[in-house]
Structures are given as structure tokens and as C-alpha cells.
Amino acid sequence: MADAVQGSIGHLAEPTAPEAPVLEDIRKPWPARIRPGYLAILIVLLVFPFISTGYPLTVLTEVLIFGLFAMSLDVILGYAGMPSFGHAAFFGLGAYGTAVLAAKLGQSNLAVTLSVTLALTAVLALIIGALAIRTSGVYFLMITLAFAQMVYAAATKWTPLTGGSNGLPGVRRPTIFIPGIETTDPKAFYLFVVVVFALSFFVLHRLVNSPFGRSLVGIRENEVRMRAMGYGVQRYKLAAFVVGAMFGGVAGLLWATFNSFISPPDVYWTQSGTVLLMVLLGGSGTLVGPVLGAAFFQVLELVLSSKTEHWQIVLGAVFVIFIMFVRRGLMGIWAQFLSLRRGHA
């Protein structure tokens, strides 16, 4: 980043300087250089089920769902700089909302479940957010954590609705009104997840690179200054919190329908910790990083749990080592690698 800024200053001073492409990258909201890369990944994701099915497809579906979940937290944590330790609340609300609609009311029409999920998470995020943004730092962390535990308490105690600690089975896959598409088929469901993931990524990517998103980064870097410049800082923060929560809810919707089941552990505070870890492992404030972090986490968990009974110890140790020695996550390593290749190191 520092290199890029220096490059751009050099460019302004001398219009013919060789650093010109670097400035190009900063100015364009969607760097032309990367766009083909995103498209290529999307095509690979879409073609994947026609090459490989079964277990790898299941893993990839999970990675995408948690990738979306981590990405949604990144808007709050990475861009707006609010350390939310209660993101599982929105994941859980989306999941339970969908589950209750499907299992208790027999409603699994996607248009209905999606609208209900978005509305519920938005309302909850407005309430939690309005209280939490009055504070910052550690207090923000603890308040969001406490609220998420309230949602967990509701999930375990409101037995008639949520099934209590037994959870809620029989969450049907969503019905989409396109003839011939049946999401009960793993391949079709996977493609459905890919579409939701890609659309969410597109929307969030546009959002964080919009003037709104840049203002969030400004608030993260220097809130006092942004306030002095006349920005309604609190409104920006609340908006970021609500948007992140809504996409977290969508991830929850996908998760409940993917497993056809939802139970309280998915809403527990460790889930909030895990998704936070995914964001930091991948590199916060990058949107792509958290998805990588989610993939890294899920694959590592699968590999370790197939090798040893005590995989949690190894997984925990990996986290500790990562936090100790890797700054700015996987994306940080990638950026270092790029700058080495460019000869800026």
C-alpha cells in the first residue's frame, strides 16, 4: 500500500513516470486487471459440478457459504473497523427464520424466505447496531457478543418455535420458480449457492469501492477527522453494520437449507469467533481475503478431522501460529509476494 501511494505521488509529479499503472489501479473502482480473474473463477465454480461431484462438491458448497458469511463480516470489521464478536446472531437469525418458515409453516419459496431473512436481520441489526455504535473497541466487541448470546438463548429456550437444543430438522431446500430446477439435487443446490455467492460478492464489491465504502475506510482510519469533515459518522457505521448483518443472514439461510437442519451450536459465540478468525486469517478489509480464510479454515478442519481425533488442538495451534507470525493474513502474504516480484521489497 505504501509503495502504491508513493508511486502515485511520483506519478503526479512526473506524468511520464513508469509507475503510471499503479495509479490506474487505485483510481478504478473495479480494476480492469483483476476483472478477468474474477470471471475465470466464476466460470471454474460453475463448471466444477460437471467435472467432480459428491464429496468435493459438498466441501466447496460449505466453503462458499462460509465465504459469504466471512465476507459479510468484513464489511463491518475490515471496512468500517468495528470489531463485531456477535456476527453469528445474524447467521443464526437467517438460518432459524428460514427453518421456522420451512418446518413450521411449510413455506420454502425462495422469494419469501429471502425477504423474511433480510427483513429480520435488518431489524435486529438496527437494534443491536444502534446500541453498539455508541461505544467502540472492546466495549463494541463485548456488546455484540452479549447480544449474540441472547439470540443463542432464544434458540435454546424458545423450544416450541426452535426445537430447543434438539434443533429444527426438515428445512426444505428452497423452491425457485424456474421449471426444471430442483434444488434438492446437490448439483443444482451448489449452483444456486454459487449464484447467490457471486451476486453477493458483486454487490459488496461495488459497495466497498463506492463513495460510501471509501467513507467507511475513512471512518476506520480516522473517525474524528471524518466527523470534522461533516460526515454523519454514526449513520455510516449503522448502515455498514446493517448491510453486513443482512448478508450474514443470507449465509445463514443457505446453511440451514444446505444441511436441512439448524441447531443452537451454529449460533453459539464460538461461531462468531470462528468467522472472525476466517476474516483475519484471510486478511481483513480485502473482501477476497475472508473468502480465502473461510476456504483455508474449512479445508484444514476437514483434513485434520480425518487424520486425528484431536484435530481441534492442531487447528487451535495453527491459529496461534498464524496470529503470531502472519500479519494481515493470507492476502498480506500475497501482497508481499507481489511486491517481491515487482522488485519493491
Partner 1 sequence: MFSFDFLFVQVLNGVGYGLLIFLLAAGLTLIFGMMDVINLAHGSFYMVGAYVGFSMVSRTHNFWLALVVAPIVVGAVGLVIETGLLRRLYRRVQLDQVILTFGLAYMATDIVKWIWGPDVRSIDPPAGMDGGTDVLGNFYPTYRLAVIGIGIVIALLLWFLQRRTRIGSIIRAGVADKEMVSGLGINVGLVFSGVFVFGAALAALSGVVAGPILGLYQGMDSDTLIIALIVVVVGGLGTLTGAFWGGLLIGIADTFGKVLIPEFSLFLTFAVMVVVLLVRPTGLFGRRLA
Binding site for partner 1 (CB under 8 A): 83, 85, 131, 134-139, 141-143, 145-147, 149-150, 153-154, 156-157, 268-270, 273, 276-277, 280, 310-313, 315-317, 319-320, 323-324
Label residues 255-289 b or e (16+ Cβ within 10 Å = b): bbbbbbbbbbebbbbebbebbbbbbbbbbbbbbbb
For residue 139, the minimal CB distance to partner 1 (Å) is 7
CA separation (Å) from 57 to 32, 46, 193? 30, 11, 11
> What's the grid cell of residue 100?
421456522
Nearer to partner 1 by C-beta: 63 or 77?
Answer: 77
Chain centroid to CA 191: how far? 19
Phi-psi region of 112 (alpha: psi -120 to 50; beta: other; left: phi over 0): alpha
Q: What are φ and ψ of residue 84, in 5° steps?
A: -80, 125
* Measured distance CA(32)–CA(71) in Å, rounded: 22
Least Å distance, CB 99 to partner 1, is 20
Cell of 106: 411449510
Torsions phi, psi of 221, nearest 5? -80, -40
Least Å distance between CB 83 and partner 1?
5
Please, which residues bridge with residue 261 across strands? 169
DSSP 29: S
Give least dist CB 260 to partner 1, A. 25
Q: Which CB sits closer to partner 1, 190 or 268?
A: 268
CB-wise, 39 or 317, nearer to partner 1? Answer: 317
CB 10, min distance to partner 1, A = 30
- Nearer CB in complex with partner 1: 13/224: 224
Q: Which is nearer to partner 1, 231 or 311 (CB)?
A: 311
**37 to each of 32, 40, 44, 48, 292, how far by Cα in Å?**
10, 5, 11, 16, 15
Query: What is the CA 120 to chain-centroid distance, rounded?
Result: 18
Nearest approach, Cβ of 89 to partner 1 (angstroms)?
12
**Closest distance between partner 1 and the C-beta of residue 248, in Å?**
18
**Looking at beta carbons only, is 30 or 139 nearer to partner 1?**
139
Residue 320 identity: V
**Is residue 140 exposed (0-12), middle (13-18) or buried (19+ Cβ within 10 Å)?**
buried
Phi-psi region of 110 (alpha: psi -120 to 50; beta: other; left: phi over 0): alpha
114 versus 315: smaller Cβ distance to partner 1:
315
Distance, CA of 280 to CA of 235 (rounded, Å): 25
**Least separation in angstroms between CB 180 and partner 1:** 45
Please state the closest distance from residue 313 (CB atom) to partner 1, in A: 5
How many angstroms separate the CA atoms of 44 and 35, rounded?
14
